[in-house]
Amino acid sequence: MSSASAVYLDHAATTPMVPAALEAMTAELVRTGNPNSLHASGRRARRVVEESRETIAQAIGCRPGEVVFTSGGTEADNLAVQGITAARTAADPRRRRLLASAIEHHAVLDTVEWLGRAGRAEIDLLPVDGTATLDLEALAERVHGDPASIAMISVMWANNEIGTLQPLGEIVALAAEHGIPVHADAVQALGAVPVDFAASGLDALALSGHKVGGPVGVGALVLRRDVDVVPLVHGGGQERDIRSGTVDAPAIAGFAAAVELAVKHQAEHAARLEQLRQRLVAGVRFAVPDAVLNGPADPDRRLPGVAHFSFPGCEGDSLLMLLDARGIECSTGSACSAGVPQPSHVLLAMGRADDEARSSLRFSLGHTSTERDVDALVAAIGPCVERARAAKG
């Protein structure tokens, strides 16, 4: 919780550390040793890092050597998108096209757009339907049209705003026909739905510690061994010479503990969140009958703990602050772009009008969420919507 009295409904932005992760990290914080040093303290720190790597690999279905530690999901996404594109273009100058969905997290979307502006890639943003699901026909048309020109495809496992799960199986199968690597941001998916790297057929996968009850400032890029990538950071050659820099052994220990726990309890955690979400959705719809629930209705096509609403006649940021004044914390979308009033690029890509895209809030549940939290939101949302509409006037 951000405070003792706050009702925290923004777990998709960050979730409290679980005790196991806090314990693992704290134990390492008081110990000295650079994992790259050859003496006893260094070897002990190296053992912590490698055992953590093995723990994460076992939890997500990959080889330990495929786990490349980073500072978080944003760096992992940047490393995948920039690094794979650069390597593919260097090997074959024809491979300049970079395909990504129009609803990617800004860690991917802004990176893709930067590569386009810098002249390092030709960008093709893929459309989605009204539920924020990738248009597979549009993807197939682009791939079959000129597959030799495509450097890579990047499509997130689960959308961070709406919660929509993307059809990665179909995407990977289509790309595999032409040997095109596929990267997915799985930051929101891990711990919420089953995530198995080997079974997915993906070439690269981004993870973040603080989304699953681990510490902030640590994550990983899971990268198949045969995928070439140009490093973003050069130096000591750590992490397969893909990500140089002294790794953060305490944070990695906490990250591994959180991942192991999140995967172990994923099914029961998802079932509990789905029940809370149903209670939240029913309550909000009763309190605000014209509220629009965004995303797929089918629970198999969305995250269990995310409920995204549009409130006609409201400004989302104003409604957020009204709820915040009553001790209820939520989000207008991605926390990484918060603070700058702007319409949701996800809703715009879904075909919503600008005012609709500005009228939305995301309520995201997590391991500390309770029925009392949901009921507090339901009690507050009606009066807050009325005030927000009156203010917009």
| Domain residue extents for the chain | 7-16+266-392, 19-264
φ/ψ region of 235 (left if φ > 0, alpha if ψ in -120 to 50, else beta) reads left
Measured between alpha carbons, how far is residue 253 from residues 20, 53, 70, 171, 219 in Å?
10, 9, 13, 33, 11
- pLDDT at residue 3, rounded to an integer: 47
Distance CA 95, CA 149 (A): 4
CA atoms within 13 A on the CB side of 65: 6
Enzyme catalytic residues: 336
Token pair for 352: 């919503």
> Domain 7-16+266-392 carries which CATH code?
3.90.1150.10
- pLDDT at residue 392, rounded to an integer: 77
The pLDDT tens digits for 306-342 are: 999 999 999 999 999 999 999 999 998 655 554 556 7
> Domain 19-264 carries which CATH code?
3.40.640.10
- pLDDT at residue 2, rounded to an integer: 42
Distance CA 370, CA 375 (A): 9
Q: Is the Cβ–Cβ distance between 11 and 192 less than 8 Å?
A: no
Average per-residue pLDDT for the chain: 95
Residue 184 phi, psi (nearest 5)? -135, 135
Task: For the chain, list residues with pLDDT below 50.
Answer: 1-3, 338
